Amino acid sequence: DAKTTQPPSMDCAEGRAANLPCNHSTISGNEYVYWYRQIHSQGPQYIIHGLKNNETNEMASLIITEDRKSSTLILPHATLRDTAVYYCIVRVSGGYQKVTFGTGTKLQVIP
């Protein structure tokens, strides 16, 4: 079973920030939070990951709560090309652990 829960779908207006939540209440101390997205008919694409500190890169920001039981992926200025299914995954880094995908959140960016 997936270790994360996400809302099945969300809408966001183009140009606005998209905030995608993820619950991972059973996360272990050595597990990272990873986010991937899958644009229609493509393979999943890595977005960002974090352990306990907030992270930012050129694609997105990741906010992890202090107790690490939930996180939020933020796309600061959503575009139509950000329409995709977003997957939140928790896993240990290294050791080639199996990655379990949940159902993800289908984000629809609206013009």
Partner 1 sequence: SAVISQKPSRDICQRGTSLTIQCQVDSQVTMMFWYRQQPGQSLTLIATANQGSEATYESGFVIDKFPISRPNLTFSTLTVSNMSPEDSSIYLCSVESQGLAPTEAFFGQGTRLTVV
Question: Where does this chain bind partner 1 (CB under 8 A)?
Answer: 2, 32, 34, 36, 41-46, 49, 51, 87, 91, 93-94, 96, 98-104
CB of 48 or CB of 78, closer to partner 1: 48
We find the least distance from the C-beta atom of residue 55 to partner 1, in angstroms, to be 11
Please give the distance of CA 2 from its chain centroid, rounded to a whole number.
14
* Cβ partners under 8 Å of residue 28, min gap 6: 92
CB of 26 or CB of 45, closer to partner 1: 45
The amino acid that residue 13 corresponds to is: A
